[in-house]
Each structure stands twice: as structure tokens, then as C-alpha cells.
Amino acid sequence: MSWTGFKKSLNRAGTTVLQKTGQIERTIDREFADEESKYRAFEKECQALQKDAKQYQDAMRSMTTTQARLAETIETFYSAADRSSDGAMASHAFKSAVEELDGGIQRELEGPYRTTIMEPLGKMNAYFPVVNEHITKRNKKLLDFDAARSKLRKVIEKPSEDPTKLPKAQQEHDDAKEVFELMNDQLISELPQLLDLRIPYFDPSFEAMIRMQCKFAEEGYEKMSAVQRYFPDNVRDDYAAGQLDAQVEAVLQEMRELSICGAN
């Protein structure tokens, strides 16, 4: 930081302290405060959206990977019992189906998801530090303006014998006001425009997410439906009739009757 910048920082810190003690009037700009509040809410929502979108991507990848491991274990159970049984054939088909789903996620969905969702979110969030820097500069110029106005008022209320003091204070006031109002007006004008652009900007990403979810669901349904053909018709009928729970409970009861599974 240069010496000039250091002095400005000290002066602004002093102005802030004097405003808190009521010795310097603080400018209240309701219009800017309203627009900044809307912008801050948008910033928070975008950052949360980026985080949630990443978690969704990780969850999808984790789900298919875990499903593939489950299928591998299930196939091991059935194959160890009877490789030629309907259950063994179904478990093998299930393993093949989920492996294809897992590979499809990495091959067909991760690239488009990154391009159409994660990258647009990243680009939008990259604008916030730039906008925040402009807001910080605007706030600093407001402190300079408040300090110059207070100084001018004191010179007017207590005239000095030095004839150059009033014109100098007036010029400092006018210059500070001009710089502040330029930055303030720009933000008041452009912050709403930034928020208005969020819908057309995110529309393609939202549509892409829906399409990818539909594709994943359709492929999952198609592959799981193919696995069903390895089950006997009566199994599908019992499932539809809600009778499988009773069958599972019957098997559990047989297990409880084994001495190694006994409660005592």
C-alpha cells in the first residue's frame, strides 16, 4: 500500500469512528441499500446452488459406484450357491446392468453436467468478487464524501480568516460528491440488471439438468426391466400383490430357529 493509500485508510477509519459517535453525519441511501440486499440474497443463493449441484454430481457418482459394489457382492452370494439357478442368472444380469449404468454416468453424463451446469454456475459466481470490489469502493467513496461534507459544514459554521479554506473545502466536497454519486448511480442501475439476467442465464442449465435426470431414470428403468425377466412370473405377481414381505418373514423365522441364531 502506498503512503497516500495508507493515509486514506486512516482517514476513513477515523470517519467511521466519528460516525459511530455521532460527530459526523452518515449518509443513508435507501435505494442502494434495497438493491444491495437483493444482490446479497442472489449471491448467497448462487453460492449455495453451486455447492448443492456439486454434491448432487458426487451423490450420483457415489450411488452408481456403490450400486455396482452391491451387485458384485450379490452375484457372489448367488454364484456360490448355484450358478445355474434363476437367482444366479438374475444377479449376473443385475451386475451387468449396474456396471453399464455406472460407466454411462461417467461417460455420458459427467461431461455434459460439467459443461451445462457446473461451468455456468462457476462463471456466475466468479462475477461476485468483481461486483463486491465495486461495492467496497463505493462505500469508501461514501466515507470520503461524508467527511468532506462535515469539513465544509464546519468551515461554513466557523469562518476562517484564511480566505482559501472555504473554496478548498467546497471543491473537496464537490469532487467527493461527484465521484461517489457516479459509482453509486452505476451500482443502483446495474445491480437490478444483473439480477434480471439470472433467469435467462440459468434457463439452459435448468433444462439440461432435467433432461439428464430423465435420461438417467429412463436408462435405469430400461436396464432394471431387463433384469426382471430372469425372475419367475410368480415372483413378480407376489411382489405386485404385496406378498413378498410374508415370504421374507417366513425365511427370517427359519433363521431364528437355528441354534446359532437363537436368542439364548
- Express each pLDDT in 213-236 by its tens digit: 888 888 888 888 888 777 777 766
Question: Residue 83 has which C-alpha cell?
Answer: 450358478
Residue showing cell 405377481: 237
- Integer Cα distance of 228 and 78 in angstroms: 16
Q: Where are the beta strands (DSSP E) in the chain?
A: none
With beta carbons less than 8 A apart as the criterion, state whether 223 and 100 touch: yes
- Integer Cα distance of 80 and 92 in angstroms: 12
Burial 198-211, CB ≥16 within 10 A → b, else e: eeeebeebeebbee
> Average pLDDT, stretch 195-201?
91
- Using left for φ > 0, alpha for ψ between -120 and 50, and beta otherwise, residue 225 falls in alpha
- Integer Cα distance of 144 and 175 in angstroms: 10
- Integer Cα distance of 110 and 138 in angstroms: 41
Residue 105 per-residue DSSP state: I
Residue 53 has pLDDT above 50, yes or no: yes
Residue 73 has pLDDT above 70, yes or no: yes
- At residue 13 the predicted structure's pLDDT band, cuts being 50, 70 and 90, is low
User: Nearest CA to 18 among 133, 135, 177, 151?
Assistant: 151
> Average pLDDT, stretch 123-145?
92
Lowest-confidence segment of 27-36, 92-101, 208-217, 247-256 by average pLDDT:
247-256
Residue showing cell 484564511: 162
Task: Tell me how far the alpha carbon of residue 76 is from its chain's centroid.
Answer: 40
- At residue 3 the predicted structure's pLDDT band, cuts being 50, 70 and 90, is very low
- For the question of whether the overall pTM of this predicted structure is more than 0.85, the answer is no
